Amino acid sequence: MAIAVYPGSFDPVTYGHLDIIQRSGKLFDKVIVGVLHNYAKSPLFSVEERVNILEKVTQGMPNIEIRPFSGLSVEFVHECGANVIVRGLRAITDFEYELQMAQTNRVLAPDVDTVFLTTSLEYAYLSSTTVKEVASFDGDISKFLPPFVAEEVKKRLQGGHKSGK
C-alpha cells in the first residue's frame, strides 16, 4: 500500500491545502495529514483544534487520515509506515524553502522522498498567514477557506486570544 504523509501547520486549513489533500488522495492509497504541534510559533488554533477542523473538512474522503505530530517530519513519516512526503508548491518563492526542506529530509532519511504537487492556479496566491491578516482586519475570507473554517477563524479572532499551543 502506497502511503504518503502531507505535513504542515494548517493554521488554518485553506482551499489550497484541501486541493493538495484531494489530489494526493487520488495518487496514493492513503494520505496521512500530519498536523505539526509547533512549539516555536504561536498558532491561532491549538494542534487539537486544527486536527478537529481538518477532520471535519475532510469528512467523506475515505483514504485521508488526520494525525497530530511533533518533532521531525521524517520520523513521523517512518511512524506512519510511509516513505513519501507530499508538499504543495505555489510559486517560485516557495521553491527555495521547499527544496532546502526536501534535501534536509533526504539527508536525515534517505528512504523518504518528497513529492511536490503544484497548487491549482486559483489557489496559487493563498496562504494561511494572509487569510489570518485579512480576517484580523474584518475582511471577507469566504473565498479562501470552507465556511465552517471561516466561522472558526472569525470566532477566534473576535475572542481576541490565541491558542498559545
Known binding residues for ATP: 9-10, 17, 88-90, 98, 123-129
The string over 75-94, giving b where at least 16 C-beta atoms fall within 10 Å of a residue's C-beta and e elsewhere, is ebbeebebbbbbbbbbeeeb
Whether 62 and 51 have beta carbons less than 8 Å apart is answered as no
Which residues 105-144 are close enough to bind ligand PNS by CB under 6 A?
105
Binding residues for substrate: 9, 41, 73, 87
* 7 belongs to the binding site for ligand PNS (CB under 6 A): yes
Stretch that binds ligand PNS, among 5-13, 18-26, 52-60, 152-160 (CB under 6 A): 5-13
Does position 72 interact with ligand PNS (CB under 6 A)? The reply is: yes
All three cell numbers of 85, joined, read: 512526503
Q: Which is nearer to ligand PNS, 25 or 43 (CB)?
A: 43
Catalytic residue at 78?
Answer: no
Residues 6+ apart with CB under 8 A from 4: 24, 27, 28, 30, 31, 32, 82, 84, 85, 86, 115
Residues linked to residue 69 through DSSP beta bridges, in sequence order = 36
Q: Is 88 in the site for ligand PNS (CB under 6 A)?
A: no
Residues that bind ligand PNS (CB under 6 A): 7-9, 36, 72-73, 101, 104-105
**Residues assigned a catalytic role:** 17, 41, 90, 128
